[in-house]
């Protein structure tokens, strides 16, 4: 009787699972007997807790957690993770409490089980929100202890293996979620064996027809290529052996899902995907990898542009290998990967390889550190918006098509394809991104939106008072940059809205012969609670964003014994606008108000205050809501530029546009946009979107333009 069987011999027959003997035998190969015995105890505890429960397939429920533990045993995970895998459903599906698990198996196992359970215990208003929030919870659980998600990935893998018992609609939903979320996470953590199985099973369940067609076609291709594959493997093995190198040559068959993805990516028919087989050469050292590469290139001609050195520059998930594509017999493409045993272990197990190395080894820790660095970035990303925004942001990081650039000190930074200088700045550090004002690529100044290319050296120039530009969100591609910019702008909008709300409320209170500073904090707090808010800050923010009317809130703040106030004509002066309240004060694009224009303000819910010119034609549409109009004026000194539209009628002649643009530039005016509004044989109408400081600046621009002989008429555009 083997060790595993002896451990189980005393269990009641009804509680024995066929899979547990296999599991214990696997664990015996790499865990000490005391830890294997601990897993056996967990199995007995779980079998008792789940007794009487069945899966949809009809098998005893305990078979599922045992299968999950078996998947993790293939990755050589530690005993605590295996125990947690066996118990991962007992808190959720049985009467067992977390404290009971902690008392029996220790607090570490209890935290892992609780972490896995919490991922499935969230209630939501919509399916999209549920999926997004589950995704957020899962990724943030990874930050606390990555083993929680290792168990979750194994759980999903076994659920995919047994998906046949589910209704068709449910199968498709689970399969899509697997391909969109779980497989990419396994890939990001470098766990190739789990990633590949999830992709194959997800593809088969989501697109069964496509799966069958490709499977049938590949079977035919295998038959046609079989003689070539054997010949190539023999040639590779003979050349390496002749050089006295000890190596292992393995044939590698392409997965159906990778073939399908290649067809979609390259938009080619299945007949064009001829490289069904690849080869993997595993050697003892990095030096030998490069020696073998030279031999392989001597044996078969390499395909130009198809060599990748992931040893010198590893992939973001820690993967290392040499990749080359060769012209084989009859011109058939041959894909060859060359790597060491350690690299092969990491390629298959990813972050799980950390648990496979001995305590004194440092290589396993480096792979864990790579994953930890990414996971730490998730903590920063989560502040950027709601769960659905977070999910979309992280998805971008889960499908990396990387470009490698250098810092001025020669450090390699890995960024997604089409990443810009701003993405680079945020990748180095959030503070550098928030304060960047310019960038140098290979020592030359470039616009911040410039896409980066492989091998470039990037230097970021920062300024102490600089802040993120809202327009950056439109061109950054990394999740970290987008989330950091949104978080900053969100915080800025909050503080600006609170400040504006206080000013508006003070103005409304002045009409009632009161002032905000004279009202007790308890009364403001009580008014906020009456309106369903938690703090006075929320109340001020709501006023500043136009969601609540200051006069109505002001009346709530009157003392309870005060006499009802009659309608009064506002006695306080107009609200002074400085032009710098960028997040809560906006300027209408219909009439383009600029300093010194007579203006009015409209309280727009969620946007705050929108400034219009008094002569704006759209005012009549808003006159029906007088309670939302504010009297406003410009502060004496306004330090910013404002957009304004100018219409210029010109005679048609060659170079007239360049001449007018040059004339405008002489007045220190920036041109945002130019367009042609009308055109006939003799004259054209040009519409310029300019940035000016005030009416005086605009008047100087118009005066200059009117002096030009080709200019027929200059007018400021009104709504």
pLDDT in tens, 51-83: 888 888 788 889 999 999 999 999 888 899 999
642 in helix, strand or coil? strand
Q: How far apart are CA 432 and CA 446, in angstroms?
A: 17
* Domain annotation for the chain: domains and CATH numbers: 3-208 (1.10.3210.10), 209-355 (3.30.460.10), 487-634 (no CATH), 642-716 (3.30.70.260)
Does residue 12 have a pLDDT over 50?
no
pLDDT band at 250 (very low <50, low <70, confident <90, very high): confident
CA angle 52, 58, 61 (to 5 degrees): 45
pLDDT in tens, 482-498: 888 877 777 767 777 77
Q: How far apart are CA 664 and CA 690, in angstroms?
A: 9
pLDDT attached to residue 281: 93
Buried b or exposed e, range 175-200, using 16+ CB within 10 angstroms? bebbbbbbbbbbbbbbbbbbbbbbbb
pLDDT attached to residue 193: 87
The DSSP call for residue 330 is G
The CA-based dihedral angle spanning residues 95, 100, 105, 108, taken in that order and rounded to the nearest 10 degrees: 100
Longest distance between any two alpha carbons in the chain, whole Å: 106
* CB neighbourhood size of 460 (10 A): 22
Active site residues: 92-93
650 in helix, strand or coil? strand
Does residue 566 have a pLDDT over 50?
no
Q: How far apart are CA 148 and CA 709, in angstroms?
A: 75
pLDDT attached to residue 166: 86
Does residue 570 have a pLDDT over 80?
no
DSSP string, 356-403: TS-TT-SHHHHHHHHHHHHHHHHHHHGGGS-HHHHHHHHHHHHS--EE
Tokens of 177: 């979620």
pLDDT in tens, 614-629: 888 777 766 667 767 7
* CB neighbourhood size of 32 (10 A): 11
Does residue 186 have a pLDDT over 60?
yes
Does residue 456 have a pLDDT over 80?
yes
Q: What's the burial of 614, exposed, middle or buried (CB within 10 Å: 0-12/13-18/19+)?
A: exposed
pTM over 0.75: no
Q: How far apart are CA 632 and CA 577, in angstroms?
A: 7
When the pLDDT of each residue in the chain is averaged and rounded to a whole number, the result is 79
pLDDT in tens, 366-417: 555 555 555 556 555 555 455 555 555 555 555 555 677 888 887 878 788 7
**Which of 134-138, 211-215, 591-595 has the lowest average pLDDT?**
134-138
| CA-wise closest residue to 69 among 107, 117, 21 | 21
- Through-space distance between the first and last CA atoms of the chain, rounded to whole angstroms: 91
* CB neighbourhood size of 267 (10 A): 7
């Amino acid at each position: 009787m083997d060790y595993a069987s002896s451990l189980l011999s005393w269990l009641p027959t009804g509680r024995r699972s066929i899979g547990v003997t296999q599991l214990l035998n696997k664990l015996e190969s790499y865990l000490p007997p005391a830890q294997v015995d601990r897993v056996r105890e967990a199995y007995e505890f779980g079998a008792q807790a789940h007794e009487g429960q069945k899966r949809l397939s009809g098998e005893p429920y305990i078979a599922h957690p045992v299968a999950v533990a078996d998947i993790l045993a293939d990755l050589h995970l530690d005993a605590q993770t295996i125990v947690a895998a066996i118990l991962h459903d007992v808190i959720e599906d049985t009467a067992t409490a977390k404290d009971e698990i902690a008392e029996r198996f220790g607090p570490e196992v209890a935290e892992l089980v609780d972490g896995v359970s919490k991922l499935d215990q969230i209630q939501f208003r919509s399916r999209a929100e549920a999926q997004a929030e589950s995704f957020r919870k899962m990724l943030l659980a990874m930050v606390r202890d990555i083993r929680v998600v290792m168990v979750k990935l194994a759980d999903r893998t076994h659920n995919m293996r047994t998906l046949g018992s589910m209704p068709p609609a449910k199968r498709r939903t689970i399969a899509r979620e697997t391909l969109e979320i779980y497989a990419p996470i396994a890939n990001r953590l470098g766990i190739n064996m789990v990633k590949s199985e999830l992709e194959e099973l997800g593809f088969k369940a989501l697109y069964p027809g496509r799966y069958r067609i490709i499977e049938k076609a590949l079977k035919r291709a295998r038959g046609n290529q079989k003689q070539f594959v054997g010949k190539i493997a023999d040639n590779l093995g003979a050349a390496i052996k002749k050089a006295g190198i000890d190596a292992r040559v393995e044939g590698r068959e392409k997965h159906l899902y990778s073939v399908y993805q290649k067809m979609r990516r390259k938009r080619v028919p299945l007949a064009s995907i001829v490289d069904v087989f690849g080869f993997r050469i595993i050697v003892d050292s990095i030096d030998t990898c490069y020696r073998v590469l030279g031999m392989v290139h001597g044996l078969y001609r390499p395909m130009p542009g198809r060599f990748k050195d992931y040893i010198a520059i590893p992939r973001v998930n820690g993967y290392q290998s040499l990749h080359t594509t060769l012209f084989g017999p009859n011109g058939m493409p041959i894909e060859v990967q060359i790597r060491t045993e350690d690299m092969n272990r990491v390629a298959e197990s990813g972050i799980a390889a950390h648990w496979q190395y001995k305590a004194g080894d440092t290589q396993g820790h480096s792979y864990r550190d790579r994953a930890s660095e990414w996971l730490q970035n998730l903590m920063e990303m989560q502040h950027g918006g709601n769960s659905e925004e977070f999910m979309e942001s992280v998805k971008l990081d889960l499908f990396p098509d990387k470009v490698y650039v250098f810092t001025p000190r020669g450090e390699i930074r890995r960024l997604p394809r089409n990443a810009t200088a701003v993405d680079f700045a945020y990748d180095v550090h959030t503070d550098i991104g928030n304060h960047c004002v310019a960038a140098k690529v290979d020592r030359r100044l470039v616009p911040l939106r410039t896409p980066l290319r492989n091998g470039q050296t990037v230097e970021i120039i920062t300024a102490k008072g600089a802040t993120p530009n809202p327009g950056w969100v439109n061109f950054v591609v990394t999740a970290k940059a987008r989330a950091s910019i949104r978080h900053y702008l969100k915080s800025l909008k909050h503080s600006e809205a609170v400040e504006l709300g206080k000013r508006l409320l003070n103005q409304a209170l002045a009409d009632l012969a009161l002032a905000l500073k004279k009202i007790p904090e308890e009364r403001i707090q009580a008014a906020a609670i009456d309106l369903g808010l938690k703090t006075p800050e929320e109340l001020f923010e709501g006023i500043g964003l136009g969601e609540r009317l200051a006069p109505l809130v002001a009346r709530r703040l009157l003392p309870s014994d005060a006499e009802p106030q009659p309608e009064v004509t506002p006695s306080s002066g107009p609200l002074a606008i400085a032009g710098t309240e960028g997040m809560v004060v906006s300027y209408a694009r219909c009439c383009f108000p600029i300093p010194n224009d007579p203006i009015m303000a409209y309280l727009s819910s969620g946007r705050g205050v929108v400034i219009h010119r008094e002569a704006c034609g759209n005012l009549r549409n808003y006159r029906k809501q007088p309670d939302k109009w504010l009297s406003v004026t410009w502060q004496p000194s306004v330090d910013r530029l404002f957009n304004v539209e100018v219409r210029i009628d010109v005679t048609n002649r060659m170079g007239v546009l360049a001449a007018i643009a040059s004339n405008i530039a002489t007045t220190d005016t920036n041109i945002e946009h130019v367009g042609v509004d009308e055109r006939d044989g003799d004259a054209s109408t040009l519409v310029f979107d300019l940035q000016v400081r005030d009416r005086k600046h605009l008047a100087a621009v118009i005066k200059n333009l009117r002096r030009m002989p080709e200019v027929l008429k200059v007018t400021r555009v009104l709504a």
